[in-house]
Amino acid sequence: MGIFDFLKGEFIDVIEWTDDTRDTMVWRFEREGHAIKYGAKLTVREGQAAVFVHEGVLADVFQPGLYMLETNNLPILTTLQHWDHGFNSPFKSEIYFISTTRFTDQKWGTKNPIIARDREFGPIRLRAFGTYTMRVADPGRFMTEIVGTDGEFTSDEIAEQVRSIIIQEFGRVIATSGIPVLDMAANTADFGRLVVKAIEPALAAYGLSVPEFYIENISLPEAVEAALDKRTSMGIVGNLDDYLKVNAAEALGKGGDGGAMGAAVGAGIGMGMGAAMGGAGPWGRAAAPATTPPPAPAAPPPLPAGRVWHVARGGQATGPHAEADLAALIASGEVKRDTLVWSPGMADWAPAGDVADLRARFADEPPPLPR
């Protein structure tokens, strides 16, 4: 075997990457101790791209397919090497395989609350979380902007930066959307599209894209959620008085004061049942009658409200006057038989002497002289 045959065997003839991981985005083809033969076979599978870097400069990007590494399909690298057409010589370049498939189930979420202004609740703090998928859309830009010389690059190394971009734009979209907080759950799909549109320029600068973006939940502070739950409960109950009675009954049933109130209520119920059973004690013997305090005397009902009157004096209506005040005005002569009066229930103003309820008060007063 000649020296040329030996050297030919030392050169690598097949360049490929078979990846069985789910998080590797970039893998460098190991070339230590070997040269890449001019005319070698390069296999780029679906969901991959191959990037050639020669002396620190990005030379060529290959999409899925089978390639013979020759002058006609290495135009940039040929220029860098100053090859003449058909020159058969080994060369040394770094080859990076980049996965262009979607990296799914990437998590995002707000570490700190986002302050937004709501028309109904005013300034309010919101939290949100969800998932997204990302992929390499421009392998060459991704290599130069993110990967550099990293021999094995995983999705975890870029995920934190993508999350920061998402959260920044999500906060801006939420704050400027003008959608009420109570309607946000019905608009998560629209929010998602707005966020993706907002983050596209920043991610495109890295050679990345986000094909899918999902908002799983937008949550309010616990205190606000508790207030909303209480408000919903009141809306279901309807009547506030009934609602308070229900709450009081529930508190008694649960024994809210360390069980003491519940125990007292239970004891009272037990005593009532014992009395209903004829005073029998726990062993069947008659129990001593319980001494109960006499009932408190009932308070008298409030005095009925008297009728009120309006009086026309000096061309103006005065009042309302209670019946006692009107009687004093009649007694003093300020209100006479022909003085116009009105009281609720009357159709119109009438002379006081013509009103049945007041006629008796003018018994001692002579009627007006006939005209």
Cα 45 from Cα 49, distance rounded (Å): 8
Query: How much is the mean pLDDT over the chain?
Result: 76
C-alpha atoms less than 13 angstroms from C-alpha of 40 in its C-beta half-sphere: 22
Going by pLDDT thresholds of 50, 70 and 90, the confidence category of residue 103 is very high
Domain 103-223 coded CATH 3.40.50.620: no
Residue 79 confidence (pLDDT) = 47
Task: Name the one residue in this structure whose structure tokens are 């991981």.
Answer: 21
- How do 36-44 and 12-15 pair as beta strands? parallel
Residue 197 predicted with pLDDT over 70: yes
Per-residue pLDDT of 240-295, as tens digits, reads 676 677 778 778 776 655 455 444 444 444 444 444 444 444 444 544 455 566 66
Residue 290 confidence (pLDDT) = 52
Residue 10 confidence (pLDDT) = 46
Residue 272 confidence (pLDDT) = 47
Residues 171-175, mean pLDDT to the nearest whole number: 87
Residues 335-364, mean pLDDT to the nearest whole number: 82
Bigger pLDDT: 99 or 303? 99
Same fold, 103-223 and 308-362: no
Domain boundaries, the chain: 3-99, 103-223, 308-362
Residue 368 predicted with pLDDT over 50: yes
Residue 206 confidence (pLDDT) = 93
Q: What is the 3-state secondary structure (H, E, C) of the chain?
A: CCHHHHHHHHCEEEECCCCCCCCEEEEEECCCCCCEEEEEEEEECCCEEEEEEECCEEEEEECCEEEECCHHHCHHHHHHHCCCCCCCCCECCEEEEEECCCEEEEEEECCCCEEEEECCCEEEEEEEEEEEEEEECCHHHHHHHHHCCCCEEECHHHHHHHHHHHHHHHHHHHHHHCCCHHHHHHHHHHHHHHHHHHHHHHHHCCCEEEEEEEEEEEECCHHHHHHHHHHHHHHHHCCHHHHHHHHHHHHHHHCCCCCHHHHHHHHHHHHHHHHHCCCECCCCCECCCCCCCCCCCCCCCCCCCCCEEEEEECCEEEEEEEHHHHHHHHHCCCCCCCCEEECCCCCCCEEHHHCHHHHHHHCCCCCCCCC
Residue 1 predicted with pLDDT over 50: no
Residue 187 predicted with pLDDT over 80: yes
Residues 172-179, mean pLDDT to the nearest whole number: 85
Going by pLDDT thresholds of 50, 70 and 90, the confidence category of residue 305 is low
Residue 298 confidence (pLDDT) = 65
Domain 308-362 coded CATH 3.10.110: no
Per-residue pLDDT of 133-150, as tens digits, reads 999 999 999 998 888 878
Residue 270 confidence (pLDDT) = 45
